[in-house]
Amino acid sequence: MSTHRLVTVPLGERSYDIVVGDGALEHSAERLAALCPNGRAIVVTDKAALAHHGVRLHALIANAGLTLDLITLEGGEAAKTWDGLRTLTDQLLALGVERNECVMAFGGGTIGDLVGFAAAITKRGTGFVQIPTTLLAQVDSSVGGKTGINTRAGKNLAGAFHQPALVIADTGLLSTLPQRELRAGYAEILKAGLIADRALFERLESVGARGLSGNALIDAIADAVAFKARIVAEDEREGGRRALLNLGHTFGHAFEAEAEKGTLVHGEAVAVGMALAFAYSVRLGVCSEGDALRAQAAIAAAGLPVRPLDLPGGPYQADRLVTRMTSDKKNTGGQITLILARGIGEAYIAPKADRDDLTAFLKEELKRK
Ligand code: GLY
């Protein structure tokens, strides 16, 4: 028997539900039908998601009593560009999409980000639904309304806040996901506990690697998205507290930018980034060593890397990493803003990091075995 959990993102008239569970797709057929006033579903997916889950997708649309207009992209980050956006927008217009319809993003974070942005600008905004097929997208990018594409200057630098009307996080879709991708997505679940939910962290700590499957995973996803929903409700457009969701990302993005292309998975870089954020908090004297070690142990228990030396794609250099950190989106006035922690569940925004001290710290950490 499947279990489902429902989480609401409370944003007034733009509030929406996230359905989490094994079989959440079938469970949501009626909700989907209600979001398709013209009796058709416009679904954007990629070849890999279609190959893995096409049968379930077609059955879902049929069960919802809808006809299907399917747009299948090649997949990969190549679609998340100005060219990809223009092509998709033209395709949606050619299908005669209307504002009151919901375009469905069926795939990983790349598909969700691109489709969300296309929905935000087509006819000045159509509805959209997120059906994420990776753990990373289920716990992070599908929730909260950040949409966008990559530009020549960097990742996700053009985009819009555009909230979906519904998110369906079906854990059954994760059965075809490689273990490495699953673990990488789990890093974002641990992140939620580490930022501001000590009780969630302790639950994750107690289940260890068992949290990556079955009902424990459903609960972990639902708890993490409930946490994110609370932050998004407080600070939808990242004027303040939402920046906490970037714990581990300033360090992580720097490793991703420096890594040999195609070697590093985002969640692994974030996992090491979170361990570094705690280690740097200890160095600054704001966090106990005990909490930093607990954070590190929980990350490692999920099979994730915690030391820079564990990351593929190197060798990395401290000064180059710090230069990368200088171009992070959270920064102001050319100064590096870090997300640090006073303890587990007590992350805070730390502006104006000392570049020299950060470089010295990274030099040491890059050698740590
Ligand atoms: N991924 C961070 C955020 O949604 O704000």
Q: Does residue 266 carry a catalytic annotation?
A: yes
261 catalytic? Reply is: no
pLDDT digits (tens, 9 = 90+) for 343-368: 999 999 999 999 999 999 999 999 99
With beta carbons less than 8 A apart as the criterion, state whether 20 and 222 touch. Answer: yes
Q: Are residues 118 and 171 part of one domain?
A: yes
| Residues whose beta carbon lies within 6 Å of some atom of ligand 1 | 140, 144, 146, 242, 245
Ligand 1 midpoint to CA 74 (Å): 25
pLDDT in tens, 229-260: 999 999 999 999 999 999 999 999 999 999 99
Annotation says 238 is catalytic? yes
Three-state secondary structure readout of 184-198 = HHHHHHHHHHHHHCH
Q: Of 80, 183, 249, 324, which one is the catalytic site residue?
A: 249
Instruction: Return the SS3 of 208.
Output: helix
C-alpha torsion sign, points 199, 138, 100, 150: positive
Alpha carbons 365 and 232: distance in angstroms, whole number: 33
Q: What span, in angstroms and rounded, lies between the C-alpha atoms of 102 and 123?
A: 12
Q: What CATH number is given to the structural domain containing 11? A: 3.40.50.1970
Active site annotation includes 146: yes
Nearest alpha-carbon partner for 251 in 305, 200, 202: 305
pLDDT of residue 1: 40
Q: What is the dihedral of CA 162, 4, 41, 76, to 10 degrees?
A: 60
CA 362 remoteness from chain centre: 25
Q: Give which of 221, 203, 217 is closest to 345, Cα–Cα.
A: 203
149 and 80 Cβ atoms separated by less than 8 Å: yes
Report residues of the chain scoring pLDDT below 50: 1-2
For residues 328 and 234, give the distance between their C-alpha atoms in angstroms, rounded to a whole number. Answer: 23
In this structure, which residue's CA is closest to atom 2 in ligand 1? 245
What is the total count of domains within the chain? 2
Q: Are residues 72 and 15 in the same domain?
A: yes
Q: Does residue 161 share a domain with residue 50?
A: yes
Whose Cα sits closest to atom 3 in ligand 1?
A: 245
Quick check: is 228 catalytic? yes
For residue 242, indicate whether it is catalytic.
Answer: yes
Could you tell which of 113, 134, 140, 236 is best to mutate to test the pocket of ligand 1, judged by most ligand atoms within 8 Å of the CB? 140
171, 305: one domain: no
Q: Domain of residue 119: give its range.
A: 4-176
The reply to whether 100 falls in a domain is yes
What is the pLDDT at residue 154? 79
Strands 154-161 and 146-151: antiparallel
Q: In the prediction, which pLDDT does 78 show? A: 85
- pLDDT of the residue at 203: 95
Question: Which of 53, 162, 191, 228 is flagged as catalytic?
Answer: 228
Residue-level pLDDT at 155:
82
Residue 202: phi and psi, rounded to 5, are: -70, -35
On whether both 185 and 86 belong to a single domain, the answer is: no
Six token digits for residue 77: 């980050």
Give Cα 296 distance to the centre of its chain.
21
